Amino acid sequence: MSNIGLDIAASGVNAAQTAMDTIAQNLSNTNTPGYVSETANLTALSSGEQSGVGGGVAVASVTQNNDSLLAANAAQTSAALAQSTALQQTLQQAQLAFGDPSSSSGLGSDLSSFWQSWNQLSTNPTSQADLQAVVDSAQTVTTDLSQASGQLTAASANASSQLTNTVGQANTLLSQVASMNNQIVKQGATGTSVSALSDQQNQLLTQLASEIGATWTASPNGSVNVAVGGVTLVQGNWSDTLAVNNAGSATSPNLQLVAQGSKVALTASSGTAAGLLAAVNVYLPSYQSQLDGVANDLANVVNTQLNKGFTTSGTPGVDLFTNSGAGSLTAVNITVNPTVLANPSLIATASTSSLPAASNDGSNAQALANLYNASNGPDVAWRTAVVNVGSQVSQINDQVQSQTATSNAAQQNLQSVTGVNQNTALVELMNFQATYQAAAKVITTVDTALQSLLAAV
């Protein structure tokens, strides 16, 4: 009969010690970002003794309390939130182009002033002052249009440069993940714990998810493969770099993220990059084209009516709004006809060409004043654009709010499993302390028993 009591007690002390060390590690890292709490897994040993007594306890492993499903969910929700937030910020900047609907300044009220100047002219069609007032208010409107357009262009440029920064950061992270893969595999091969490195790597991966919507799969040797939209960007210690490429034109952009190594364009469907891409490729061009629509409607209804009329000298009316550049009329290039600007008497206020009946006829001017609510006129188009932009921004605001709640909930769920609950940890610590003390007491008792045996001989 061998005295295995000492061995058993010794194993108890060692196991309790390891367990307490693990709890100490957890408590020290309570606030470390990305830290996943660890558990010492104890198993009872068998001794092979005839008597059937066990062989003590051993720490089978120290494992991390990870839940890959919750972790993936937390990463996904935070990527979705990052996407909506990026889009929200850009759209809120773009919304400034559409002004304050309550204000007495801005395109809406400047259009009203324009129509009012026509009404005034109709009461005194030969008045130089009233003719000049029409020209001046026309210029105010064209200035408003080009300024609004400029603000949208600025928002787009802003978003593009943010995208470049995001991609730059993502590239740094990708290469860091690859080098960590290398470290983890090497360290894992030596048998020591890779938990700390793994936690650090998880932080990088979560950031990558937020930036470009990356997803990852772990391989058995501890290294991680990162992909976006099915395109692999990190494999083992190889990483790719991304660049932003415009597959469209300056006015009609189609920005894409392109993987430089594999020469493939990515489809980023979440993360900051996805939000910015949607803003630059879809939303902002649509707002720009709605503004261009307002400009075109203005030019069309005004020029059409003017061309139906005649000046007070009986000559046919000419366009008031023209295109200062090439191509189609836009909110940027709409301008007051320079001929009319130089000679406001060319404005067609009369409805008849016969003289002298045309010389003091303001009826065409009144017809122009009446275009304020034309269904194909600029006021209706402007109103529609404002409501459209407002609805989209309002929607994205709500989306950000609800996604913030979802993301917070996912984080909390993840924390419940991976986080350190101090109360729980301290109770466990007390338990293991008691176990340690009990096992130590067993050693003392067995020792005393041996002593009495030796004394007896």
Partner 1 sequence: MTSPVSTGISYTPTVIASQLVSYLNADQSQQATLETQLSSGNVVNQPSDNPAAAGSLLAANSSLARAQEYSSNASDASAWLSLGTSTLNSVTSALQSAEQSVTALSGYALSNSSAAVATTTAALQSVLSQVTALANTTYGNQAIFAGTGNVSVAYDASGNYVGAGNPPTRTVGPGVSVAIAATGPAVFGSGSSGLLGPTGILSKLISDVSTGTPASIATATTTDLAALKSAVQTVTNQAGILGAAYQSVQGFAAQATNVQTALQTQISAVDSVNIAQATTALTQSQNTYQAGLWATAQIEQHSLVTYL
Judged by CB under 8 A, the chain residues 97 through 126 that form the site for partner 1 are 98, 100-102, 108-109, 111-113, 115-116, 119, 122-124, 126
With both helix axes pointing from N to C terminus, report the angle between 378-418 and 284-308 in degrees, rounded to the nearest 10: 170
Q: Which is nearer to partner 1, 68 or 373 (CB)?
A: 373
What is the rounded CA–CA span in Å between residue 98 and residue 83?
23
**Is 411 in contact with 418 (CB distance < 8 Å)?**
no
Binding mask 126-165 for partner 1 (x = CB under 8 A): xx--------------------------------------
Given candidates 86, 148, 284, 350, which one binds partner 1 under the rule CB under 8 A? 350
Minimum CB separation of residue 436 from partner 1 in Å reads 13
C-beta closer to partner 1: residue 15 or 274: 15
Q: Are 335 and 319 within 8 A, CB to CB?
A: no
Phi, then psi, of 332 in degrees rounded to 5: -85, -40
The gap between the terminal CA atoms of the chain, to the nearest Å, is: 18
Q: Rounded to the nearest whole angstrom, what is the least distance from the CB of residue 98 to partner 1 in the complex?
A: 6
Which residue in the set 3, 43, 61, 92 belongs to the binding site for partner 1 (CB under 8 A)?
Answer: 92
Whole-angstrom Cα distance, residue 237 to residue 180? 8
With 0-12 CB in 10 A as exposed, 13-18 as middle and 19+ as buried, what is 189? Answer: exposed
Overall size of the chain counted in residues: 457
| Binding to partner 1 in span 198-257, by CB under 8 A | none
Interface with partner 1 in residues 386-425 (CB under 8 A): 386-391, 393-394, 397, 404, 408, 411-413, 415-417, 419-424
Site for partner 1 in 12-71 (CB under 8 A): 30-31, 42
- The size of the interface with partner 1 (CB under 8 A), counted in residues, is 72
Q: How many C-beta atoms lie closer than 10 Å to residue 315's C-beta?
A: 14
What is 228-252 written as a DSSP string?
Answer: ETTEEEEETTEE--EEEEE-S-SSS
| 214 vs 389 by CB, closer to partner 1 | 389
- Under a CB-based contact definition with an 8 Å cutoff, are residues 163 and 255 in contact? yes
Distance from C-alpha of 322 to C-alpha of 313, rounded to nearest angstrom: 23
Q: Which of 84, 90, 95, 290 binds partner 1 (CB under 8 A)?
A: 95
Q: Are 134 and 117 spatial neighbours (Cβ–Cβ below 8 Å)?
A: yes
- Least distance from partner 1 to the Cβ atom of residue 290, Å: 12
For the bound state, the minimum distance from the C-beta of residue 231 to partner 1, rounded and expressed in Å, comes to 32
Kindly state whether residue 334 participates in binding partner 1, applying the rule CB under 8 A: no
Q: Which is nearer to partner 1, 434 or 450 (CB)?
A: 434
Q: To the nearest whole angstrom, how small is the minimum distance from the Cβ of residue 70 to partner 1?
A: 12
Task: Quote the tokens at residue 173.
Answer: 């992270």
- Map the footprint of partner 1 across residues 248-307, applying CB under 8 A: none
Q: Tell me the residue type at 111.
A: L
Q: Which is nearer to partner 1, 42 or 244 (CB)?
A: 42
